[in-house]
Structure 1
Amino acid sequence: MLHKVLRIHPEDNVLVALSDLKKDEKISFEGKDIVLTSHVPAKHKFTMQALQSDDKIYMYGIIVGKAVKEIAKGEVITVDNIAHQTAPYTGKRKPFSWKAPDVSSWKNRTFDGYHRPDGQVGTANYWLVVPLVFCENRNVDIMKQAFVEELGFAKPNPYKSFVKEMKQMYLEGNREGLHEAGVASLEQSGEQKLFKNVDGIKFLTHNGGCGGTRQDSEALCALIAGYINNPNVAGATILSLGCQNAQPAILKEKLAKIDPEFKKPVIILEQQEEGTEAQLLTRAIQATFLGLADADQLRRKPAPLSKLTIGLECGGSDGFSGISANPTLGQVSDMIAALGGKTILSEFPELCGVEQELINRCSTDAQAEKFVQLMRTYAASAEAVGSGFDMNPSPGNIKDGLITDAIKSAGAAKKGGTSPVKDVLDYTEIATRPGLNLLCSPGNDVESTTAMAGSGANIILFTTGLGTPTGNPVTPVIKVASNHRLAEKMPDIIDVDTGAVISGEKTIEEMGNELLDYIVQVASGKVQAKAVLLNQDDFIPWKRGVSL
């Protein structure tokens, strides 16, 4: 049975509307009646008692805002009557203990993955083609045109025939037909892949590598090294111009830092050394083709779930994300931690207000101090240009109930579950310790997913309440809807629907088990995530500056 309202934590002084509520409607909650003074849309919150100016707003048991004027009992909270506010944070304040979930039924489960020489296991098998500098983007695009269709990796494009149909109607003078034409259903390509054990060649272009700061080029090389190291990658072809800041020597240094005995094939070619474009591309195509042939020799084999490294992401969030989808990811994160695997929680601007809880969960004082330093440095860099974490919620977030960054963050942090924080990583650092890892990245969806794949995620879970197509070139991105309506409206991008938590049909624990089972199917190559089917290959390196 669907309840009308929810109190997330016993200390909260606002209730969440689980469905649209009308003005003057009487809400009975825990033996008390609240008469609504205004319409409260589903996902939004209203006060349990009258508040004075400067009174604190509590959700998830923490401070998420303050009243900026008198708010009546039963009044909806909005950007007009509350403002962002959080509690201060310091070092570890109290000891932390954790009771791991029961994962006995998962202990012997495996997924079929690609085993790498360094012990990592991929959920996919890709070859990368990446430029060290934007000057080589065109050459990368030419290689893409040469490889993708000829080797059977091209995805069908129904819009080409749609345009062709409309062109013909236009030439025939059929203007009425133009308004009635439509796209035919998406059909699978009839082209057979030449290399059946290679999931694809991924061509990653960007606008970095020269200009900007030397630190940006260093970070770009570290990110590319992380992508080459990702367990889903078999090898890489790197195109360099020759004179740019992001030098091949830096990339090699970053690879050696990850693993002094790095064994994956990495082909590096410089245009200024090779001579003509034709000479460069001929060598690059020959070497890449041979690399693909070698990568095709690998076969999927069983691996324990401890070999999973799962990125935890949210984007296009709504007022239900922190109640259904994000806690479901938190349940999966705890299960993976209990099984000896790794999870990665990023988006530091969306941890604003929950810092103390995460600090207390850090396994060592050094990790806690690193987290504090990274958060304060990031916040200061935003404030230095007249911005701040409080400006994080997007118009879509606000419209669907996430009024302040602290409200958004309190729900977003639920993706990290309740397990101890085993490591704190700066941007481009690799996740090596089993358990929950915190990774410094922006809240921007693509910059964050780009970062998690660079830090070793071989699966990314991405919650959304409003819908977003974001994917990643090398790591399958599984989209998790917070509500039934989204899952029904955008089935082409949603993989798993957690709306049953809102309707009361399923518990977080049940949804966690359902999601983990789906993860195993995707990791084994038996099911393709919707973002993979759509060829949604989003890649944006973070220039170390202000990006919320």
Structure 2
Amino acid sequence: MRQKVLQLHPDDNVLVALTNLEAGENIQYNGFHITMKNDVPAKHKFSIYDLKPEESVKMYGVLVGKALSPIASGAALTTENIKHSASSFEAKTQTREWTSPDISRFKNRTFNGFHRPDGQVGTANYWLVIPLVFCENRNVNIIKDAFLEELGFAKRNSYKDYVHEMAELYKKGDTEAISQLNFSEQLDKGKSKLFKNIDGIKFLTHEGGCGGIRQDSEMLCGLIAGYINNPNVAGATILSLGCQNAQISLLEEKLNKVNPDFKKPLYILEQQKEGTEKEMLLKAIQQTFLGLVEANKQERKPTGLDKLVIGMECGGSDGFSGISANPAVGQVSDLIVTLGGKTILSEFPELCGVEQELINRCKDDATSEKFIHLMRAYAKSAEAVGSGFDMNPSPGNIKDGLITDAMKSAGAAKKGGTSPVADVLDYTEYAQKPGLNLLCTPGNDVESTTGMAGSGASIILFTTGLGTPTGNPITPVVKLSSNTSLAERMPDIIDIDTGSIISGESTIEELGADILDFIIEVASGERTTKAMDLGQDDFIPWKRGVSL
């Protein structure tokens, strides 16, 4: 018989409904005898015993809220009866002992990747075309139109065929047939690729580089430098206007900081020096084509799993995310760390309430102090504009059981597993140290995944309970559903279903190992992710103003 409720930690005073519960239903769990006071949908929480106003609400063993009014045993937690509250944090108070997981299944495993001159190994082989300023977006798009279809990288938009079919019916005066039209043709990938060893040319446009504060232009250059240095990138073409804040010299400075031994092909053109637009475009196209010729000479070769850099993200989370998908990803993180690789946990607004645990996991005082500084500075900047981490949960999060930011954060942090924190990175800093890295990004899905790729992530694991189509131009994004219903409803965006943890059919350890098997296949180019199939190339640089 399927378990109906779950207590996540012995100290918790709430239970999670694993299935829909009805008012009047009697629940017995671990010695608790509870009569449900109202209907509680699956994913939501209810109180084990009576709570008084201002009494603490605990989940995952941490403070996630305070009662706003009396809450009876068996009553659902809602935005009307609890408010956000999180524990304070201070300097490192203890050193955590860590028991690493069994890696015998993966100890001698390898993946076939692209070996870069600096020792990094990519899971893909992309060429980048990026503007330093929004003024060059048009020219980037002209180059894009010139290259993609001709070289076989463009996917035919079959929706155009759908519109064409409807237009033809309209011309014939048969408007009734339009509503009856059943068009389910699969996307046609178009021409075969000219360059067999290149996964694609990625054209990234943005709205930055000038006109904002100088700090934003500095961060943009740091982000672009990280993308160029990412192991999944073979080389890049950069377009500059010339007069913008994001100067070529600033990009070169950031790139040298990320990698003083940078040796990839890099072509930078400045329109105000090149002359006419036509002259610059012809030169950019020629240089890019010759760069592709060189990049195509690279082939996949075996390498150890210690060369993997795994980013970890959640978006469109639900009340099951912290029980299934996120802990499964945390298991993967612990496996990768034990194997000598790097993992990156981002989204600082979604670490609210679990700071002390992460501080105590930091390898030394300097690392923990940097984390404290970044968390407090971020929270202060949010409060300065009348916002705060407590406003982080979205309407979808709340509807599916994540009532407070601390509740959401306690589950989101499970993606980081249990290993020591090797390093703490500010936005655009590159992951250099093996182990778990904490990266300061917003909770915004795309701004965060954009930042992780800029910090060197070669694959990103993205958990979701509601369904989020986020992808990345250069880093394969593996989408994991927290519940089976989502995986069945949106199979076009979900790669892996972790709902079997909720049903009791799988353990977190079993799913973690299966996910790592999947990662190895993607890293070796043996399979693509759903986001890659859809061409979901999301790229949004974070402006250091407040973005939650």
Q: In the alignment, is the contact (CA less than 8 A) between 2:32 and 2:48 conserved in 1?
A: no
Distance in 2, matches of 1:435 and 1:186, equals: 41
Distance in 2, matches of 1:31 and 1:261, equals: 62
Which amino acid letter does the alignment assign opposite residue 52 of structure 2?
Q
Q: How many residues align?
A: 548
| SS of 1:57 mapped into structure 2 | strand
Distance in 2, matches of 1:183 and 1:337, equals: 47
Q: In the alignment, is the contact (CA less than 8 A) between 1:461 and 1:479 conserved in 2?
A: yes
Which amino acid letter does the alignment assign opposite residue 227 of structure 2?
Y
2:333 equivalent to 1:333: yes
Which amino acid letter does the alignment assign opposite residue 252 of structure 1?
E
2:90 equivalent to 1:90: yes
| SS of 1:479 mapped into structure 2 | strand
Distance in 2, matches of 1:156 and 1:358, equals: 46
Provide the residue aligned with 1:30 in structure 2: 30
| SS of 1:303 mapped into structure 2 | strand
Provide the residue aligned with 1:201 in structure 2: 201
Q: In the alignment, is the contact (CA less than 8 A) between 1:26 and 1:35 conserved in 2?
A: yes
Distance in 2, matches of 1:236 and 1:180, equals: 47
Provide the residue aligned with 1:58 in structure 2: 58
| SS of 1:105 mapped into structure 2 | coil
Provide Cα deviations, 1:4-44, integer angstroms capped at 9, x if missing partner.
00001110000000011001111111133100101000000
Which amino acid letter does the alignment assign opposite residue 277 of structure 1?
E
Q: In the alignment, is the contact (CA less than 8 A) between 1:158 and 1:185 conserved in 2?
A: yes
Distance in 2, matches of 1:157 and 1:182, equals: 17
Which amino acid letter does the alignment assign opposite residue 321 of structure 1?
S
Q: In the alignment, is the contact (CA less than 8 A) between 1:157 and 1:186 conserved in 2?
A: no
| Deviation of 1:188 (Å) | 4.1
Provide the residue aligned with 1:321 in structure 2: 321
Distance in 2, matches of 1:386 and 1:535, equals: 37
Provide the residue aligned with 1:414 in structure 2: 414
Which amino acid letter does the alignment assign opposite residue 16 of structure 2?
V
| Deviation of 1:190 (Å) | 4.4
Q: In the alignment, is the contact (CA less than 8 A) between 1:162 and 1:182 conserved in 2?
A: no
Provide the residue aligned with 2:261 in structure 1: 261
| SS of 1:238 mapped into structure 2 | strand
Provide the residue aligned with 1:503 in structure 2: 503
Q: In the alignment, is the contact (CA less than 8 A) between 1:158 and 1:184 conserved in 2?
A: no
Provide the residue aligned with 1:544 in structure 2: 544
TM-score by length of 2: 0.99
Provide Cα deviations, 1:186-235, integer angstroms capped at 9, x if missing partner.
14424110001000000000000001111110110000000000000000
Q: In the alignment, is the contact (CA less than 8 A) between 2:149 and 2:190 conserved in 1?
A: no
2:229 equivalent to 1:229: yes
| Deviation of 1:2 (Å) | 1.8
State the Cα RMSD in Å.
0.7
2:346 equivalent to 1:346: yes
| SS of 2:437 mapped into structure 1 | strand
Provide the residue aligned with 2:483 in structure 1: 483
Distance in 1, matches of 2:26 and 2:290, equals: 71
After TM superposition, the runs of 4+ consecutive aligned structure 1 residues lying more than 3 A away are none
Provide the residue aligned with 1:297 in structure 2: 297
| Deviation of 1:150 (Å) | 0.4
| Deviation of 1:156 (Å) | 2.7
Which amino acid letter does the alignment assign opposite residue 184 of structure 1?
S
Which range moves more in the overlay, 151-160 or 281-290? Answer: 151-160
| SS of 2:485 mapped into structure 1 | helix
Distance in 1, matches of 2:183 and 2:415, equals: 37
Distance in 1, matches of 2:459 and 2:440, equals: 18
| SS of 1:113 mapped into structure 2 | strand
Map 1:111-130 to 2 at 5 A: 111-130=111-130
Distance in 1, matches of 2:204 and 2:453, equals: 13
Distance in 2, matches of 1:360 and 1:188, equals: 52
| SS of 2:252 mapped into structure 1 | helix
| Deviation of 1:175 (Å) | 1.4
| Deviation of 1:157 (Å) | 1.7
Provide the residue aligned with 1:244 in structure 2: 244
Which amino acid letter does the alignment assign opposite residue 79 of structure 2?
V
TM-score by length of 1: 0.99
2:132 equivalent to 1:132: yes
Which range moves more in the overlay, 172-181 or 530-539? Answer: 172-181
